[in-house]
Amino acid sequence: MELKDYLKNNKVLSILNDNGFEAYFVGGVVRDYIMNRPSADFDITTNATPQEVKSLFENTFDTGIKHGTVTIKHDGHLYEVTTYRQDAKYLNYRHPSSVKYVGELRKDLNRRDFTINAIALDKELTIQDFHHGMEDIEKGIIRTVGNAEKRFKEDALRMLRAIRISTQLGFDIEEKTLQAIYQNSHLINHISKERIYSEFKKALMGDHLKNIVHLTCFDDFKNFNFNDIPEEKDFVLRLTAVIKDLPSLEKLITLKAEKNVINEVMILKNHIDDKDLDDRYQLKKLISIIGKENAKKILILKKLPFYLYESILESHECLTLGELVITGKDLISQSIVSEGREVGIMLNRLLDEVLRNPSLNNYEDLITLSKSFR
């Protein structure tokens, strides 16, 4: 179902309306509807209180009840439903100390981060736009609702969100908004590393990366190199590209990156300076050590051509210990080695010879070779 039809026939909004409440889609889904993009971001704002919302739906979760937000599971989708509110003074540059429910949609939209996120849409697809968000969408501009510095001091994560949205949509950040990001970049230190990493990850996977360089105004990304990010949408590949010149992976650990991501980046970083990968043997050796996919990423990072890599894969030559025609049991049965560490050493020596000369990967030659190595 197209997004337009899904929004127009949405049962959550209908249930709220049928019970006498106002209800609007707001935020990313409205922006996506206007831009004719797919969306899975279903935020709703309503004058119904959280308790009234909960009384109308069976599957609800108190995901942000303190701030007036209830999550509804309905027809296989999750909806974040938030009561119209005004925010009190913000604490720790992230969350309001308290909220006050209000009866007006306009007052609720006044508290939001960016004009392009402060547009409301009802089930008749009627748009409420008090902050010229549609105009900014048309111009491709990210601009805060009201004073940019005030908005970022309320919630410092909004600075990263502006850059992330820019990389996803290809929008430019309005001049005063961008200036406020640079002037208040130090406030991001009040935000948890997990939230910072989450926004960074989304930004790095965007399709429009010209503005991602603005991340360098934050301490966590100060020495990252965002000028040469590969086109391939692979997070580990792109992450390695931007941190490959750092002396260690300490920044990734500090940012709470996933352990498997850190390990994969370490593999690539350890081999990015490998030499002579235009030599068939050297490239095959690299593949045997780190695998086909990782070897391909190394070629991308080093901007080397793929023709030799593709030729190796098409040849179906032996590249791993598992592809040798003999096993450790064969070596033991021939009394060439005894059990234990000797088996692995011998198999690796044989694999190296086969990488140099694929024709040696037959039982007789490998047995003869192994005996000559004793």
Other beta carbons within 10 Å of 222: 11
Task: Indicate whether 303 and 328 sit together in one domain.
Answer: no
**pLDDT digits over 155-194, tens only?**
999 999 999 999 999 999 999 999 999 999 999 999 999 9
Q: Which of 100, 120, 139 is the endpoint of a domain?
A: 139
At position 348, the amino acid (one-letter code) is: N
**pLDDT digits over 189-233, tens only?**
999 999 999 999 999 999 999 999 999 999 999 999 999 999 999
**pLDDT digits over 9-24, tens only?**
899 999 999 999 999 9
At position 236, the amino acid (one-letter code) is: V
pTM of the model: 0.91
- Range(s) of the domain holding residue 334: 321-373
Asked if 309 contacts 299 with a C-beta cutoff of 8 angstroms, the reply is yes
pLDDT, averaged across the chain: 95
- According to DSSP, the residues that pair with 70 across neighbouring strands are 81
Q: Which of 122, 139, 156 is the endpoint of a domain?
A: 139
Task: Indicate whether 99 and 122 sit together in one domain.
Answer: yes
Task: Indicate whether 277 and 369 sit together in one domain.
Answer: no
Q: How many domains does the chain have?
A: 3
Task: Indicate whether 354 and 289 sit together in one domain.
Answer: no
Domain CATH code at residue 24: 3.30.460.10
- According to DSSP, the residues that pair with 25 across neighbouring strands are 44, 121
Strands (E) across the chain are located at 23-26, 43-46, 60-64, 69-74, 77-83, 85-87, 90-91, 95-96, 99-101, 119-121, 127-129, 141-142, 172-173
pLDDT level of residue 2 (50, 70, 90 thresholds): confident
Residue 122, in any domain of the structure: yes
Phi (first) and psi of residue 261, to 5 degrees: -65, -45
Q: Which of 139, 172, 203 is the endpoint of a domain?
A: 139
Residue 35, in any domain of the structure: yes
Task: Indicate whether 34 and 75 sit together in one domain.
Answer: yes
Percent of the chain with pLDDT over 90: 88
Asked if 122 contacts 88 with a C-beta cutoff of 8 angstroms, the reply is no
